[in-house]
Amino acid sequence: MAKKESTLFNMVSSLVVVTLVASTALGYVYELTKGPIAVAKLAKKIKAIDEVVVEYDNNPVDEMYKIPIDGSQDSLEVYPAKKGGKLMASAIRSFSPKGYGGHVWLMVGLFPDGNINNIAVLEHKETPGLGTKMGDTEFKNQYIGQNPESFNLKVEKDGGDVDALTGATITSRAFSQATQLAFDTYMKGGQHE
């Protein structure tokens, strides 16, 4: 079959047909994958909560509440983990806009008195092999069991107590900042029992 000539009508009609077919196919795939994507996201969230709080028997996702951040329009999501109605720990979804590649999202697990139980990395765009090491236990361990009241959440370069990752000081700063934000916001507006 000979090639179609490049008349205006041919060009417009062929582009319309191509884009129409493409968008129909994409709409179909989107509908098809919407369910599984939502399930995968929820599973990821629950996994992060499990990682940072202690034993619980309630449903933290259902009991989620929000605390507004000081001096900002945003608020943080808090997932309380309770056992027998008693608050054991809370998972706070916190962030810092100052990562090396934009926002860094963390799930910070705090005991009611503000002690850090554990921290999980949710989303980030840090450098693979450098900033991504913030998720390793080696780096996270220095936060565990600390209370930001006494543990200065700044990297050593800035006069704090955090031993920064080699080659990823900015990431370490963002990680500490997000933890600090979770602590400050939770101590001010969170449920403590």
Residues at the site binding another protein, with contacts judged by CB under 8 A: 1-7, 10-11, 14-15, 17-19, 22, 25-26, 29-30, 33-37, 40-41, 43-44, 125, 127-130, 166-167
The end-to-end CA distance of the chain, in Å, is 76
Please state, in angstroms and rounded to a whole number, the distance separating the CA atoms of residues 183 and 114: 7
Contact 45, 60 (CB under 8 A): no
Distance in Å, CB of 5 to another protein, minimum? 6
Please state, in angstroms and rounded to a whole number, the distance separating the CA atoms of residues 60 and 108: 14
**Cβ-based nearer residue to another protein, 41 or 83:** 41
Distance in Å, CB of 4 to another protein, minimum? 5
Contact 76, 93 (CB under 8 A): yes
**Cβ-based nearer residue to another protein, 46 or 69:** 46
Beta strands in the chain (DSSP E): 65-68, 75-83, 86-99, 102-110, 116-123
Distance in Å, CB of 2 to another protein, minimum? 7
**Cβ-based nearer residue to another protein, 6 or 72:** 6
Distance in Å, CB of 24 to another protein, minimum? 10
